[in-house]
Structure 1
Amino acid sequence: MQTTDKPHILLIDGMALLFRSFFATSVFGQYFRNEHGVPTNGVQGFARHVLTAKQMMQPTHMAVCWDMGMHTFRNDLFDGYKSNRPAPPEEMQPQFDMAKDISKMLGWKNFGEIGMEADDLIGSMACKWQDEANITIVSGDKDLLQLLTPTTKIAFTKKGYSIYDEYTYKRFLDEYEIEPSVFADVKAFMGDSSDGYPGVKGIGPKTALQLIQTYGSVEGVIDSLHELKPGQQKKIEENLEMLLLSKKLATIHCEMELPIELNDLLIPSYTNELLEQLEQAGFGMTSRHARSLYTI
């Protein structure tokens, strides 16, 4: 259970907020170009999202986690992993580095590792400090539900910059009737079209959840195949290799080595000098938003 006497870590899925912010305005042709003509709409929205979350959630510590390129260890496991996703629009290309730059300017610690996903960094940090701190994850990725614990909750982006769909450990138990840690087993059966892996063909979300509720895990279902209906047995037997592979793809890797201490994530105070630097760097909207939220 989360308590107020512990540090509160805010873990930000940087890429999720950057993409969300980019498409929220680019659909109207609004790119907020700087004096050099470079689009900044995604960056400005990302920073506004995080500043608002920081003001609402009052963390003591914060980390921003990033994907570092398209290729990860999951692509080595399965060529089709995320292969159906289009390349980012041209206007977004320069904003990846810009987002990390503005994050650094604001004193937020950026983390990313080639070959891993932001989810894996978030998961590793959540596991590392779950006994020392209360943790809030901000993202739009439902795969992160598997990270819920009594001290870790997830705020899923919903509308604008300040409305979230918040999941706690208790809410998940009430809705799914399984432990969050086996949510990846549900995904293994149902697959994920956005990530490009099929799971078991013919088994949808409802049946996948029922199987895990009854047998506890992918391995538990396999051990109890003789108890299933003939049709389900056949589907699983015909897709057994993909089922086991899908579980590996769906499972967040929570054992990354993190050579950092909790105090490295302390959030600094903002100053007029910093906000003036943001103005000079072409992030006037971000600077004005920061001023509106915090007394400098």
Structure 2
Amino acid sequence: MSQSGKVLLIDGMSFLFRAFYGSAWGGGYRQTSSGVYTNAVYGFTKMMLDYAELVRPTHLIVGWDVASRESLVRSQWYDGYKSNRQAPPDELIPQFDLVKEVTHAFSVPNLGCPGFEGDDVLGTLSSRLAMEGHQVIIATGDYDSLQLISEQVSVKILKNGGKHEHFDPASLLALRGIIPEQVVDVKALMGDASDCIPGCPGIGEKTATKLIIEHGNLDNLYENLANCTPKMRSKLEENREQVYLSQKLATIIRDVPVEFSYDEAAWQYDRTTVHSKFEELEFGRTLAGRVS
């Protein structure tokens, strides 16, 4: 086994979209002198360096979505999954490949798996790495990742203004009253409009959390419907199939067939290679000064 390390896993889509919209609100998009859009790539790179400085990892990996919505495993389970997603802005589309050129310059692996989402890639990696004895920190904007928390896996949820919320088992319990194993069951009841996960109509986050805390998990809740109010019992009975489908959709898959080399993920890079890429993208001195 490799010597125990500290691995930073970055949710590539979360970082890139946040970087794009965070820098685009004023209507101006950073471009090179030849007209190449770089605002999302610049913001992504800054955020990656911010978190690398904060966490001080021995290794760093970026996980990506690599499939269209239609080809996702979850879309085969439920046709409506993420059906409300709009196409990304034209200014962002070329930056999906460009950002991977930058991470490549840093010798950071970009990992994805057809049919699966970045969450599944990070879930698989975090599970494998934790089993091997490594400490894992996931940086993402997606609260679904809270289900991955363990004694060896913590999650940093991106917030506006460059801030984040740090979650480990203790802070998850203190802030939300639940344990990692209950995260999915809460979402199964409340649903998620952003991913088109239906949940149980009429049950919001507060009620979902209360029910799961009281009963421990979804199965126990359904085994004890007699203890619920008639109105609640009726809702849950009527939507049982939909609730269990929502549980399946919300569960991060932790065994996707993604290959990676731990040694190749070491957070060490050639300064000259990085500066050359920065120069090509006209990133300027501020960012270059942080790469020593």
Please indicate, yes or no, whether the TM-score normalized by the shorter chain is above 0.5: yes
For residue 246 of structure 1, what is the aligned residue in structure 2?
A: 246
Amino acid of the structure 2 residue aligned with 1:11:
L
Could you say which residue in structure 2 is the equivalent of 1:60? 58
CA contact (8 A) 2:107 2:265 kept: no
Q: Give 1:273 deviation, angstroms.
A: 4.2
Alignment map for 1:73-222 (pairs within 5 Å): 73-131=73-131, 132-161=133-162, 163-222=163-222
For structure 1, the 5+ residue unaligned runs are none
Moved more, 233-242 or 32-41: 32-41
Q: Who is 2:283 aligned against?
A: 284
Aligned residues, how many?
287
Measure how far apart 1:289 and its partner are. Answer: 4.1
CA pair 125-283 structure 1, distance change in 2 beyond 3 A: farther
Which residue in 2 is equivalent to 1:40?
Answer: 38
Deviation at 1:85, TM superposition (A): 1.9
Query: What is the CA deviation profile of residues 143-166 of structure 1, one whole-angstrom value per residue up to 9, with x for unaligned ones?
Result: 1111111111111112334x2211
Distance 1:273 1:19 in 2: 25
Q: CA RMSD in A?
A: 1.6
TM-score normalized by the length of structure 2: 0.93
- Which range is displaced more, 62-71 or 7-16? 62-71
Cα distance in 2 between the residues matched to 1:273 and 1:209: 49
Q: Which one is further off, 82-91 or 58-67? A: 82-91
Q: Assess if the C-alpha contact under 8 Å between 1:68 and 1:114 holds in 2.
A: yes
Give the Cα–Cα distance (whole angstroms) in 2 for the partners of residues 170 and 262 of structure 1: 28
Q: Which amino acid aligns with 2:136?
A: I
State the AA in 2 paired with 1:173.
L
SS in 2 for 1:130: helix
Deviation string 1:76-106 (CA, Å, 9 cap, x unpaired) is 1111111112111111111111111211122
Q: TM-score, normalised by structure 1?
A: 0.92
**1:128-153 deviation digits (Å, cap 9, x = unpaired):** 11141111111111111111111111
Equivalent in the alignment of 1:293: 290
Contact preservation (8 Å) 1:150, 1:170 = no
Contact 1:48 1:289 in 2 (8 A): no
Distance 2:118 2:234 in 1: 36
Q: Equivalents in 2 of 1:41, 1:261: separation in Å?
A: 30
Q: Is the Cα contact below 8 Å between 2:116 and 2:256 reproduced in 1?
A: no
Greater Cα offset, 93-102 or 117-126: 93-102
Check whether the contact 1:51–1:290 (CA below 8 A) recurs between aligned residues: no
| Alignment CA distance shift 1:21-1:153 (3 Å) | same
**Structure 2 residue identity aligned to 1:139:** T
Q: Residues of 1 paired with 2:181 and 2:257: CA distance?
A: 20
Q: Distance in 2 between matches of 1:42 and 1:86?
A: 18
Contact kept? 1:120, 1:253, Cα under 8 Å: yes
- Partner Cα distance (2:11, 2:173) in 1: 24
Whole-angstrom distance in 2 between the partners of 1:105 and 1:160: 27
CA distance in structure 1 between the aligned counterparts of 2:167 and 2:67, rounded to whole angstroms: 29
Q: Once the two structures are superposed, what CA deviation does each residue of 1:157-213 show, in whole Å capped at 9, x if it has no partner?
A: 12334x221112111122333320220010000000111122000111111111111
Which stretch has the larger CA shift, 178-187 or 8-17? 178-187
2:266 corresponds to = 266
In 2, Cα distance between equivalents of 1:264 and 1:29:
39
Structure 1 residue 70, shift from structure 2 partner: 3.0
Compare 238-247 and 65-74 and name the one that shifted more. 65-74
Partner of 1:20: 18
Structure 2, unmatched stretches of 5+, are none
**Deviant stretches of 4+, over 6 Å:** none
Aligned counterparts of 1:53 and 1:34: Cα–Cα separation in 2: 25
Measured in 1, the distance between the counterparts of 2:140 and 2:268 equals 22
